[in-house]
Amino acid sequence: MQAILLAGGLGTRLRSVVSDRPKPMALIENRPFMEYVVHELSRYGVTDIIFAVGYKGTMVEEYFQDGRNFAAPDGTPLTVHYAYEEELLGTAGAIKNAGRFVTEDRFFVLNADTFYQIDYSRLTALQEKEELDMALVLRQVPDISRYGEAVLTEGRLTGFNEKTAEARPGSINGGIYLMTRKLLEEIPEGKVSLENEMIPRWLKENRRLGGFVHDGYFIDIGIPEAYYQFIEDVQKGVVVW
């Protein structure tokens, strides 16, 4: 399978501790963070990675090169591609830009600065069973007022990025998607947001969007505290290579 890793952001909140490289390339035990993401994907049959890169993207290409040195656990070598952004395109715009390398009918999309320990085959099984145009992962948080709520009703997405001032537990977008080429073709060229434009539009059009709430390990290394936490989790064996 294929996956697009969104790695084109500027990572400004992490600059105080990681200033010489893109955020997903922040070093964790002598490996860049994104290598942990790639390795986890490869455990579930993703052997074709499309890096959607921008800020200092050449550093990503210099490290992963053609992918042959980053084989999956079963020995299958990775195939990699690089889709450079000349300007910030937003999440959907970056997906569209990387889409020229997509050759399969469905593909994963992930934020390259987040790490999940998750069975990715759950998404493919759900997408097949429910014939979804998009399957996505949500996560539970103690306070949805900081984010915007994503709502599942019997496995179907019925609300997304719904803002509320009420500080209460709920589910939010987790930033992992299994998309179809049909949706990819509908994304316009240029700067476009997946979260604020395309997904709300597809919901209004009654497209088949669904997912599940992940209750396992998750981290976003966007702030120094989380970056140091991931280093500690790797050292303690909480994150298994």
- The 10s digit of each residue's pLDDT in 175-213 is 999 999 999 999 999 999 999 999 999 999 999 999 999
Residue 47 backbone phi and psi in degrees, to 5: -120, 10
Residue 53 has pLDDT above 90, yes or no: yes
170-180 and 134-141: which strand pairing? antiparallel
Using CA atoms, how far apart are residues 88 and 9, in angstroms rounded to an integer?
A: 8
Percent of the chain with pLDDT over 70: 95
212-226 residue pLDDT tens: 999 999 999 988 999
Using CA atoms, how far apart are residues 194 and 200, in angstroms rounded to an integer?
A: 8
Residue that is written with structure tokens 């007022």 in the block: 145
Helix 33-42 vs helix 57-64: crossing angle, to nearest 10: 50
Q: What three-state secondary structure class fits 135?
A: strand
For 5, 33, 89, the CA distances from 29, given in Å and listed in that order, are 21, 9, 31
Looking at residue 78, the DSSP 8-state letter turns out to be P
- pTM for the complete prediction? 0.94
Per-residue burial over 199-224, b = 16 or more CB atoms within 10 Å of its CB, e = otherwise: bbebbeeebebbbbebeeebbebbee
Of the two residues 147 and 129, the one the predictor is more confident about is 129
Q: Which CATH architecture has domain 2-236?
A: Alpha-Beta Complex (3.90)
Length of the chain: 241
Using CA atoms, how far apart are residues 154 and 151, in angstroms rounded to an integer?
A: 10
What pLDDT score was predicted for residue 65? 95
Two tokens, residue 29? 């035990």
**Residue 75 confidence class, pLDDT cut points 50, 70, 90:** confident
End-to-end, the C-alpha distance of the chain in Å comes to 20
Question: Domain residues of the chain, as ranges?
Answer: 2-236
